[in-house]
Amino acid sequence: MNYIKTEWKVSENEPKNMQKLLSFNENQLIQIQLLAGKEISTHKAGTDALIIVRKGKVQFTVEGKEIVITNHDILYLEPDENHSIIALEDTELLLVKIR
């Protein structure tokens, strides 16, 4: 068993936080926190990726297509899909990078 305590770490002084929570079998679990209006510019994950929204609302632009996801949604991204992120509300995501 591995218990992982997560905390809200962003503030006006640090509006974006990314923290690796766990690595296992070459997979990674990463916590991403963004204040409303903050962005992550276009990039590729390089692996299969699951995005799980724990709090808030975020807009992904994936290969030019926009989708808004909330804490009721999960998004799957393929390794070579270009994507960017903008937080529409204060947002916390879990990113599972699957190798």
- Domains of the chain, by residue range, sit at 16-98
Q: How confident is the model at residue 24 (pLDDT cuts 50, 70, 90)?
A: very high
> What are the residues whose beta carbons fall under 8 Å from the beta carbon of 52, sequence distance 6 or more?
74, 93, 94, 95, 96
Spatial separation of the C-alpha atoms in residues 99 and 58, rounded to whole Å: 25
Residue 62, classified by CB atoms within 10 Å of its CB into exposed (0-12), middle (13-18) or buried (19+), is: middle
DSSP assignment letter at 11: -
pLDDT digits (tens, 9 = 90+) for 58-98: 999 999 999 999 998 999 999 999 999 999 999 999 999 99
Classify domain 16-98 at the CATH class level: mainly beta
What does DSSP assign to residue 38?
-
Model confidence at 30, pLDDT cuts 50, 70, 90, reads very high
